[in-house]
Amino acid sequence: MLKHSLRWLTGLGAAGALIAVSATPAVAAPTVEPYFQDSTLAIGAEATIRGLLLYADEPTVLTDVSVRYDYRSLAKKLTVTPADGQKCTAPEPGVLVCTEPSDVTLYEMPPLGSGIYRNGAKRVHLGLTEDARLGDSGDVAISFQAAGGRRGTYTSRVRVGEGVDLAGGPFTTLSAKPGGKFTVPLVVANAGDKTVTGFVAVFDLPYSIRTKDRFSNCRYSGDHLVSCQFDEDIPVGTGLAAKLNLEFVKDTYAPANHSGYAQFMTTADFEDLTRVRAAAGARATTAGSGPKLTLAEAPARARQTDQTDVGPGYDHTGWIIKATGKNGTDLAAIGATLKGTAGAVVTATVGFRNNGPATLDGTNGDFEAATHTDVELPPGTTAVEVPDNCWLRQDTTRTYLCASEMLLVAGQTYSMKFRLRIDKVIPNARGAVRVNAPCECPGGEGFHDDIKPANDGTTIVVNATQGDGGQGDGDGDGGGGGGSLPITGTPTNLIAGIGALLLVAGVGGCLLARRRTSRFVA
């Protein structure tokens, strides 16, 4: 098993990702864990594509990988066929064995430093035969093996259901000030040819958007709306609507556009995503204690059969809320003062603090950092251990570029530890820390609108003479900007839509995983 079990599973369009991290020692031989999402398949619908995902808490490469699908519990009712051109054989009815054409390298999942490594095997089609009937169900036992005795198994549930087609309402644009309240429409329609009997709305809302409502059929994490479950019917060709009362937190960045989404899914599709939430370590959510949120005066009735959305391309709605006024962010660099003799290894704890008043939310589909920080080593020192989120700048030997989190909460400090060897004692040896450093990154160059750029830079001083430099602490550990800014632990990262993430482990990416905090470089 992984050090903290498998906590980052698969992706969901409306869902985002939340990461809580804790440091643990490195594992010499990482264990690889598989995951294969549950499925509800509709009679007469096109086959569903599913892929085996492989996870580890250390980078690893798997060679000579083969995957075995055992679906004999649904013999003559389920078909499993290659989807990506891999070589497969059927050694017996109800069994498919596929070989990977190349090595499977498990890459680190974003954001940088997550400590979770993932890749997938070639995908397969899951389809139904003419013998399948509503209500049929069974398991698909998936196992993989690779060179060196690496192996793992996972059992996925498959159900036969009725095909329906949910559609979300049009996108809406409105505006509010930081701390202000606003109301958004929640609209869903039945675009299929069968009545929808019960459905779920899964919310993907950014850090800035909260709610004070506590509906009994909705689930929350603090002030964040996570999901709402409805038992109303939606007849063919009709739609339902309600209004949601939301608000900006006071530390919302402005002016800026903040987007939120709701994805609609059948009750069975929701169950396929959430069945493993407790076992996978999803954060707990709580049901509201207030009245029920209803979309219409429709009579509720029990679900007669499982349903699955066979046309999920338009199953979401969204809102763009323009934060008006002016509410910016001041990121202040934090340096360090160190001392030690030649040959000593000292720790420089450096970084920056978000002095507010606004939280900086750089969450986007590119998984880019909200900002970057340059850390220039003082002369006479060599880095023997650097954070995982830092790398040497091109054409330099002493300056590291470090990626931040995607969400930088007002009032929080974000620190990194560099282990430096003092090769030569040089009085007042000075390095530098520069937040909002330039970066030629795929998602852009980061944050350029700091409201107080004068404090973007500070120093790292080694062996300061009296009256020059900072306050060494006597043991070689770094100070925090001369002691004026306390270094705190990195807060829980809320990224890529807090809503659905808190809902389940991995439905859009939820993990509670250990993070490696540094790597050795010398």
CB 385 within 8 A of CB 337: no
Sheet architecture: strand order including 493-495: 493-495, 17-22, 510-514
| Segment 274-291 mean pLDDT | 74
Is residue 443 packed enough to be buried (19+ CB in 10 Å), middle (13-18) or exposed (0-12)?
middle
Model confidence at 281, in pLDDT bands (50, 70, 90)? Answer: low
Res 202 pLDDT > 60? yes
Nearest-angstrom CA–CA distance, 166 and 196: 8
Given this model, what pLDDT does residue 486 score? 27
Transcribe 375-401 into DSSP letters: EEPPTTEEEEEE-TTEEEPTT-SSEEE
Res 13 pLDDT > 80? no
Given this model, what pLDDT does residue 365 score? 59
Looking at domain 329-494+512-520, its CATH architecture is Sandwich (2.60)
Tell me the pTM: 0.80
- pLDDT digits over 235-273, tens only? 998 999 999 999 999 999 999 999 999 989 999 998 888
Res 364 pLDDT > 80? no
Of 309 and 204, the structure prediction assigns the larger pLDDT to 204
Q: Which of 51, 73, 82, 197 has the alpha carbon at shortest distance from 132?
A: 73
Model confidence at 12, in pLDDT bands (50, 70, 90)? Answer: very low
- pLDDT digits over 466-502, tens only? 655 543 333 344 433 332 222 222 222 222 333 333 3
Nearest-angstrom CA–CA distance, 174 and 248: 12
Q: Which of 459, 462, 410 has the alpha carbon at shortest distance from 433?
A: 459
Model confidence at 314, in pLDDT bands (50, 70, 90)? Answer: confident
Q: Which of 204, 227, 334, 348 has the alpha carbon at shortest distance from 277?
A: 227
* β 457-462/336-338 pair status: parallel
Model confidence at 110, in pLDDT bands (50, 70, 90)? Answer: low
CB 361 within 8 A of CB 407: yes
Transcribe 295-334 into DSSP letters: SSS--B----S-EEES-GGG-EEEEEEEEEEEE-EEEEEE
Given this model, what pLDDT does residue 304 score? 55
Looking at domain 17-160, its CATH architecture is Sandwich (2.60)
| Segment 185-199 mean pLDDT | 92
Looking at domain 164-326, its CATH architecture is Sandwich (2.60)
Please determine whether the domains at 164-326 and 329-494+512-520 fall in the same fold group of CATH. yes
Res 434 pLDDT > 80? yes
CB 339 within 8 A of CB 464: yes
Given this model, what pLDDT does residue 513 score? 28
For the chain, domain boundaries: 17-160, 164-326, 329-494+512-520
Given this model, what pLDDT does residue 55 score? 85
Q: Which of 319, 316, 301 has the alpha carbon at shortest distance from 265?
A: 316
Q: The tokens 């969204």 sit on which residue?
A: 318
Q: Which of 452, 461, 392, 391 has the alpha carbon at shortest distance from 430?
A: 461
